[in-house]
Structure 1
Amino acid sequence: MRGADADHHHGGHTHDLQSRAGLMAACALLVLCVVSGGSSQESGAGVFAAQLLALPLLGWAGWRLLHATPRAANPHRYAWLAFAGLLFAIPVLQSVLPAGMAGGEGRTALAADLGRFGVEAPSRWSLAPAASLAAAFHLLPALAIFAMALSLPAAAQRRLAQLVVALAVASLVLGVAQLGAPQESALNPYPQWAAAMNGFFANPNHQATLLVVAATLACARLAMVVGAWRPGRPHRVTHGVVAALVMLLAAVALPLTGSRAGVVLLILSCALVVAAHWPAWRGGVRSRAVLVASMAIAAIALFLALRWMQVEAIDELRGPLRALTGEIAARYAPMGAGMGSYVPLFEQEAPRELLMANYVNHAHNEYAQWWFAAGAPALLAMVLGSIALALTLRMLLRQPAQLRGLGVTALVALGAILAHSWVDYPLRTPAMLAVAAALAGIAVGQAIRDDGTHNGGRRHAGAAAIDRSQRGMTP
């Protein structure tokens, strides 16, 4: 092999090695985040190591995106990059900009109270500038995982999704082992709390979130196996059995975590995944029967889950917490009180009825807490993130049904995390923040994939995918 052919072969081999190395680095960082980052309050050596590892990985991923194929130049990518940049910029700016630009009735009253005791008012936009800067570093691993996942080819993104499922199963196995061990056992990474099938997490609700993500990804795999099933392909049956087993484990374990929202999200996410995959293998009586049976099972399960939620009413404290968070945020509008200021400011502003032996660590609503911490800039970030999500979904739905399965599934799983954030705070843990970043990178990477789906190659790729599906091959 000589000349142009040799150069092409060498370049392709180098690119493949770089992709494998990038996948290994992203997987290592994701494992480190999930195993050591299960708490929203404690940051140990593992979280610090993840932040250090994220720095070179961010540079490497940025280099890969700049020198990648045309998918990196897709304009829709910039909505996500702008969103990620704004998320990082807000806490950094809060830690350095002067307090004069923040304003707000609450800040004025606080300065007056401090002045009575001869204490100077906070001089920065954030009331807790050190905590705000720490919050920016808290985002680094997730940003690195997102950028690297976005730069990886489709096969590597599938491996990354499989790792998420494997981590969820490992966390579940650890959680089961914790139930039979004493509270101070080495199996419990947070011995200050009684083990409650937490796995890698301090809060079992976040274990539930990861299980929902794993079941969603496994459901997609099962749907692909069912849609492409042909007699005489035993490996397909094995894949389907493994996926069904993961879904079963998640369904059984979720009620044991005590997360009622997790049960509902599992049902809705799996139903959406089945509906999204059905166009790839519709046409026969079997496919229609599978779709109808799946939707019927989902409807019955959802009905039973809602009845269970009415009988086992959720703690009513979360409603007052969210309401009071909104009231305090209004006093510190329009720029917010600063990332990391929630705990001390809530303790200061809360009425006596809500003062407890244990401090309130979060608002149990991610969006209310962002409004509390960053005001109008937070609203801008949320709008920009919503636009990025909508653009990604639009691009995925424009692809042939046989090609969009992984991207749509990752987007559904990401949506489950975002929905759970309405009543909890999974994204406050480095673990779930890293998982969400991996899912976002996979979804965006699949949406702007360049393996023949752009321009004139779209129709050719779609035809090839249909042919593979008809022969029982997974695209």
Structure 2
Amino acid sequence: MVLGGGGSPSPKAEIIVQLGFVAALGAWLWWAPKHGFAQLNDIPKPLIWLGAALLALPLIQLVPLPPAIWQALPGRDLQQASLGLVGAQDSWRPLSISPPRTLAALLALVPAVALMWAAASLPSRDRRFVILAIAAVAVAGAALGALQLAGGDGAFQLYELSHRGWLTAFHANRNAAVDVLLIGSLALSACFAGKSMPGPVARRRIPILLAGQGVLLLAAILTGSRMGILLILPVLAINAMILKSVGMGKMLDIALRAAAVLVAAMLALPWLLSGNARLAEVASRFDVAGDARILLWRDTVAAIEAFFPVGSGIGTFPVAFGPYESFESLSPASINRAHNDYLEFLLEAGLLAPVLIALGACALFAAGRKAWRECPWDRAPQIFALGTLAVIALHSFVDYPLRNMAIACLAGVAAGLLSATRQSPEARREAESE
């Protein structure tokens, strides 16, 4: 969550995360079963198959093909003409039009898949600790964001290529920052609800919860991310579900009232925020008349049609999109993402994209349904996991959260937390004593 926020323009920190997780995954698979800890048998089969499918896709796209096959694939005319300039048009080439980018995408997938499998093998108590760590890092990111805004002119921002003048926390992109802050809000509620407390103790901790939520949600607004701000409403509703799952009706009422106030405030945004320069700037971002995403999506669809049904290769969007970029969407800044993860995935994976999305949805549904039925003591982590995946899935319609390594890893954790687990002895004794 700290090193994985730079994105492709700032890959050095991400390379540390990728290589570290490759080593960690190999060591875990070798060491843990020998010492009686996590084993692959402890992981639900649907999640094993889902992880294997995600890793297999870029691997398949890297397999060299004879010239008669790859030249016949759709969208390869420009590649064939370029190779012809150096006399390499008859060489063996993989399905991916840019093998280095696809290899980089494969390395980026390893941490997310590894975390999904590792989180699925954790006992209930350790899952709560992971959620606590997520909440703590999110709050730390909000604190860093306050320093960024107070310092101005790129102060305390971790990456040279970043959204200047906005709260970005540990990220280069404000849209990624807002997702982590919203997921941190869910994690904070799950931490509060994850352990049963006597009524008086819970009431004393309510101000702490409300203060933490206020910090995270205000920081989310100050990112200036339009979709992120709109996602505050469903996040408040999911927070209410988390707290309701442990019988905290009072907190549910507070969350619903806060949601109503927020809706009213957003409806009156142009008038309420006119006296504050920073918040007025946030409000001005909701004028979407000149949003370039519409043209970008249209050009992406043209590229999808050119490469369909095999796709151009995972991670190859900048290379595949370039020849199909229209004059209307040209700008001084280079376009490296489609700002719609579903369209980008369809371009890169072709017909396999909807198949993998459907496979993932079925696998997560099967694992989550079993956990919900068999593990009522883990309701708060389960709702947190569903909420995390919902935030990422909704934001993916207008951005690319899963292309950010920190958020991809959070998605892996959330997927793993949807699996069933045995109740720990400590939790069983607590439940029996109530």
Q: Shorter-chain TM-score category?
A: 0.7 to 0.9
Superposition deviation, residue 125 in structure 1: 0.5
1:230-270 deviation per Cα after TM superposition (whole angstroms, max 9, x unaligned):
23x3xx44543332222101221222111122123222123
Counterpart pick for 2:75 among 106, 109, 125: 106
Aligned CA distance change for structure 1 residues 208 and 311 (closer, same or farther; 3 Å): closer
TM-score, structure 2 normalization: 0.84
- Tell me if 1:264 matches 2:234: no
| Residue in structure 1 matched with residue 305 of structure 2 by the alignment | 330
User: Secondary structure, in 3 states, of the residue corresponding to 2:291?
Assistant: coil
| Residue in structure 2 matched with residue 440 of structure 1 by the alignment | 415
Aligned CA distance change for structure 1 residues 135 and 81 (closer, same or farther; 3 Å): same
- Tell me if 1:157 matches 2:127: yes
Superposition deviation, residue 452 in structure 1: 7.8
Matches within 5 A, 1:29-428: 34-63=1-30, 64=32, 73=41, 77-98=44-65, 100=69, 104-107=73-76, 109-110=77-78, 113-114=81-82, 120-121=88-89, 123-181=93-151, 183=153, 185=155, 187-193=156-162, 194-222=164-192, 229-231=198-200, 233=201, 236-237=202-203, 239-281=205-247, 287=249, 291-292=252-253, 294-302=255-263, 304-305=265-266, 308=269, 312-314=286-288, 316-399=291-374, 401-428=376-403
Conserved? CA contact 2:243–2:251, under 8 Å: no
1:52 and 1:400 map into 2 onto residues whose CA distance is 35
1:438-462 deviation per Cα after TM superposition (whole angstroms, max 9, x unaligned):
2222232xxx112389xxxxxxx99
Conserved? CA contact 2:148–2:154, under 8 Å: no
Superposition deviation, residue 357 in structure 1: 0.4
1:340 and 1:71 map into 2 onto residues whose CA distance is 31
1:2-58 deviation per Cα after TM superposition (whole angstroms, max 9, x unaligned):
xxxxxxxxxxxxxxxxxxxxxxxxxxxxxxxx2222122135443222222212321
Residue-pair matches, total: 413
User: Secondary structure, in 3 states, of the residue corresponding to 2:2?
Assistant: helix
Q: Which residue identity is paired with 1:191? A: E
Superposition deviation, residue 375 in structure 1: 0.7
Q: Which residue identity is paired with 2:7? A: S
Superposition deviation, residue 363 in structure 1: 0.7
1:390 and 1:153 map into 2 onto residues whose CA distance is 20
Aligned CA distance change for structure 1 residues 356 and 370 (closer, same or farther; 3 Å): same
Aligned CA distance change for structure 1 residues 155 and 60 (closer, same or farther; 3 Å): farther
Superposition deviation, residue 203 in structure 1: 0.8
Q: Considering only aligned residues, what root-mean-square deviation do their CA atoms show, in Å?
A: 3.2
Conserved? CA contact 1:40–1:430, under 8 Å: yes
Q: Which residue identity is paired with 1:207? A: A
Q: Which residue identity is paired with 1:423? A: V
The range that moved more, 245-254 or 434-443, is 434-443
1:357 and 1:438 map into 2 onto residues whose CA distance is 37
2:424 and 2:190 map into 1 onto residues whose CA distance is 23
2:356 and 2:46 map into 1 onto residues whose CA distance is 11
Q: Which residue identity is paired with 2:262? A: A
Any gaps of 5 or more consecutive residues in structure 1? 1-33, 454-460
1:51 and 1:188 map into 2 onto residues whose CA distance is 22
